[in-house]
Structure 1
């Protein structure tokens, strides 16, 4: 018998994120679970996702419009819970949704899991410090208010899943959630990466790849300065960036910096691409970089890029972050250094002298991922945990059996 999960996903975290679309949409489904999705796409692709069907909706233009769209999503989810009585409800990264949906699940005696992949309150506070004047102040106030809301909302779920041990510690210290929680790190889809064909790059250069959002907060000013230092030392590199600017402010600042440093020819902007195209570009590079700045928002995060780079057989330059440091130490598949221009440049100079050995180093990462960090392994663990929540109900049958 198929077991049904109703999944409520916050805005700007659409279902094509790999930890949702791959972990749940691919591998959990292969284990016999059926999903109803309630989510809003991001500002680039605003869509409702209902019962695996995608339907375009009018693009919102204001924060109020977005907030109302989120609450409409929650209302649709509540109606579905009342009508269909799913076996499990999962709410991701939205305390407002948890308040309403968690209360309904308690009344209906349906297990409800809160999936915390991001500390939203810290995001608002960090953004508030980036902005000046009244706008920045209001964001900081909203972030702190949202944190207090979490203390109420997180009384309601049956269980909480977080994406790192540090996030687990953080929510306990802040008294957001005082019961036992489960850590579920990001991973890689090695079935998908195995089919990727590398995009050729200039073999005369050391090609360094990055895939994801591009912003000052992520430390790209230091990355660009390191490229300039290498240029001065006549180290031939090409930095391939596949992704998008987080904000128009990031775009202006970083594009101006490229011009000021005269490194536009060394930094190749590929723009936003599909996951497959992005992976093909990374697979064509000699080494990939995963920059994570030192702040509370990223300190508790589970990095995505390092897993995907290793799954593609690429060595990784990982800037210092407790979990990235651990992965590099355990796998031997790269280098850990500070997110600072001189240290980055020094590390890349070292790598440039090891170009013939990079494939072997990358293979270490691939083997490491295959052993313990695939989404198939995550799905098996999650399947086992979800079965404990519905132990009094019929269990899902694996279609492969």
Structure 2
């Protein structure tokens, strides 16, 4: 396929892992709003299942085949993606084919890109293979008997096949690889992936959405008269979300008027029930408010009533290479923050000077939180620094400019 001219519009056929319509900012904002400003349009391909209302994709087209809520989704997704991709190709011939966080569809994408004679690009926001291996090992520890062994064997086979596919077929065949962080790029480089073929795109925020002046605080009376501490985001056992309750218990002892607001949902009703049991088992019902899923504007309304934001992310292979959104969101809203020392969070804290970075230990988190609650002058300095840093480094208009430049470079080669 002939390379496009520098000023001509570009079209990307983009197979995504997340449910459609997209709700993640690094798809919705980056590709839906920012990329079109630079003449980069996308035809999204994937499965339904999102809680977002159905609406046209403003940056091109959206081809939804199948549902991630189906019990057969893990098996059928590659076939569904093939059908969706065929629909996208009937609409127009892309300048490149990109796959995000899918392994079998990554192999499919590489083959289809070769047939179309267009570049194949891979977007890795999470180490999926290593996630499969963690799940395999969890099953080995927790489940016994014939059923447990069969379940372990199935997950072990998936992890083994996925490792071969991603590291021997998908990544070697990608002209370029977008990764979540510099730490992820370094991690893949240690596995033999050329550093020059990777671009780090950390998580950012929509500057207009996270402008504190435009956010109305919620009128929830349960927050009145309390020293509100916030966790904004998903909860899950894999994220060790009960750590938040260990922090809340220590805060209760030192400052009984504190209230930890966990503004977010769990990936399943079982996980949410687990968290509620943990809260009750610790006797923290009066000191932890678990909201469940909220519309984004409502969640931000809770956020701006908080004095401190918490961002604990477990250390290890899965999360050390991540770029968590919540810390950047806190800073954008002018919320002094306490975060632990995974590489991207440590970098943000050091560069912004808008929070405290401590080990993921309940005592350390509680002490840092109390320091900010008891030192309004220091907390105020942090609150002023956060928005300035985010506007200079982590908004999607800034990130979008770099991503668009990378696409133009890839497609002009």
TM-score normalised by structure 2 residue count: 0.86
Is 1:15 the counterpart of 2:22? The answer is yes
Alignment correspondent of 2:329: 308
Alignment correspondent of 2:12: 5
What is the 5 A alignment of 1:199-218? 199-200=218-219, 202=223, 204-218=225-239
What is the 5 A alignment of 1:341-356? 341-355=362-376
Alignment correspondent of 2:202: 185
CA–CA distance in structure 1, aligned partners of residues 178 and 271 of structure 2 = 32
Equivalent residue pairs, number? 391
CA–CA distance in structure 2, aligned partners of residues 263 and 186 of structure 1 = 32
Q: 8 Å contact 1:48–1:55 — kept in the other structure?
A: no
Measure how far apart 1:232 and its partner are.
2.3
Q: Quick one: which of 115, 118, 127 aligns to 2:123?
A: 115
Is 1:196 the counterpart of 2:215? The answer is yes
CA–CA distance in structure 2, aligned partners of residues 46 and 111 of structure 1 = 32
CA–CA distance in structure 2, aligned partners of residues 47 and 137 of structure 1 = 39
- Which digits, 9 at most, give the CA deviation of each residue in 1:219-265, with x for residues without a partner? 22222022112222344211111111234453343222211211111
Measure how far apart 1:65 and its partner are.
3.9
Q: Secondary structure at the match of 2:264?
A: strand
Unaligned runs of 5+ in 1: 393-401
CA–CA distance in structure 2, aligned partners of residues 52 and 107 of structure 1 = 22
Q: Secondary structure at the match of 1:113?
A: strand
TM-score normalised by structure 1 residue count: 0.89
Q: Secondary structure at the match of 1:213?
A: coil
Q: 8 Å contact 1:207–1:285 — kept in the other structure?
A: yes
4+ residue runs of structure 1 moved beyond 6 angstroms? 45-50
Alignment correspondent of 1:94: 102
Unaligned runs of 5+ in 2: 1-7
CA–CA distance in structure 2, aligned partners of residues 205 and 292 of structure 1 = 25
What is the 5 A alignment of 1:369-380? 369-380=390-401
CA–CA distance in structure 2, aligned partners of residues 98 and 179 of structure 1 = 20
Q: 8 Å contact 2:65–2:81 — kept in the other structure?
A: no
Q: Secondary structure at the match of 2:338?
A: strand
Measure how far apart 1:348 and its partner are.
1.9
Alignment correspondent of 2:3: none
RMSD: 2.7
Is 1:281 the counterpart of 2:290? The answer is no
